[in-house]
Amino acid sequence: MHIVAQVLAGLVLLIHVYIFLLETVLFDSRGRKVFGLTRENAVIMKPAMSNQGCYNGFLAVALALGFLLPDAATGRAFTIYGLACVAVAGIWGAMTVQIRILFVQTVPAVLALAALFLA
């Protein structure tokens, strides 16, 4: 079960790296299309999306630390923290922006948490 938890946590990490890139570096091209924004709305939303992308980057870093830190207990703590934050952020995003966020962020994070605690 430990491998399943690592794979799921890695998937959540990759999702958040991708979201970070969409909301920051790739916002004017791919990000605008993924979020369904017109060129005019994208200009207005760009600063807020960049800020949001920064937070998604921090979530990815917390999850990456879970994999990279040499102390297993500290790494596990970062993984749990990162996954819990992703799950809560996904619930909030589903309530305030789009229900799809629940399935893209929260469900994978909760599955990874469950696998981690069952391992």
Query: What type of residue sits at position 50?
Result: S
For the segment 98-117, the average pLDDT, to the nearest whole number, is 96
Give the whole-number percent of the chain exceeding pLDDT 70: 99
Q: Determine the Cα–Cα distance for residues 70 and 55; give it in Å rounded to an integer.
A: 25
The predicted structure's pLDDT at residue 1: 59
Picking from 118, 86, 105, 108, the residue whose alpha carbon sits closest to that of residue 7 is 108
Q: What is the pTM of this model?
A: 0.92
17 in Cβ contact with 60 (< 8 Å): yes
107 in Cβ contact with 88 (< 8 Å): no
DSSP state of 119: -
